[in-house]
Homo-oligomer: A and B are copies of this chain.
Amino acid sequence: MDIATVVGLILAFVMMAGSLVVMGMMGHGTVNFAAFVDPPAIMMVLGGGFAVALVGYPLKNVLGLAKVTMKVFFTKPEALNHLIEQLVSLAETARRDGLLALESRAAEIEDPFLALGIQMAVDGTRPETIEEVMRTEISSMAARHKEGKKVIELVGRCGPAFGMIATLLGLVMMLGNLSDPDAIGPSMAVALIGTLYGALMANLVCIPFTEKLSLRSHEEQMAKEIILRGVLGIQAGDNPRTVQQKLNTYLPPKMRPGAQEAA
Q: Which residues of A contact B (CB under 8 A)?
A: 2-5, 7-9, 11-12, 14-16, 18-20, 22-24, 26-32, 35-36, 39-41, 43-44, 47-48, 50-59, 62, 72, 77, 112-113, 116, 136-137, 140-141, 144, 150, 154, 157-158, 161-162, 164-166, 168-178, 183-190, 192-193, 195-196, 199-200, 202-205, 207-209, 211-212, 215, 220, 224, 249, 252-253, 260-263
Contact = CB atoms under 8 A, between A and B. Distances in A.
A80 to B, nearest CB: 13
Most chain B CB neighbours (cut-off 10 Å) among A9, A22, A72, A202? A22
* Top 9 A-B pairs, shortest CB-CB distance: A8-B54, A29-B177, A56-B208, A15-B47, A8-B55, A19-B40, A161-B203, A55-B208, A12-B51
Contacts of A18: 40, 43, 47
A203 B54 contact: no
A9 B55 contact: yes
Contacts of A170: 23, 28
A20 B207 contact: no
Contacts of A62: 4
B165 A55 contact: no
A37 B253 CA distance: 44
B164 A199 contact: yes
What is the total number of copies of this protein in its complex?
A: 5
A55 to B, nearest CB: 4
Nearest to A117: B262
A15 B54 contact: no
A245 B171 CA distance: 60
Contacts of A14: 47
A112 B178 CA distance: 63
Given A19-B40, A59-B3, A165-B196, A189 B202 contact: no
A260 B140 CA distance: 12
B16 A165 contact: yes
Nearest to A2: B58
Contacts of A7: 54, 59
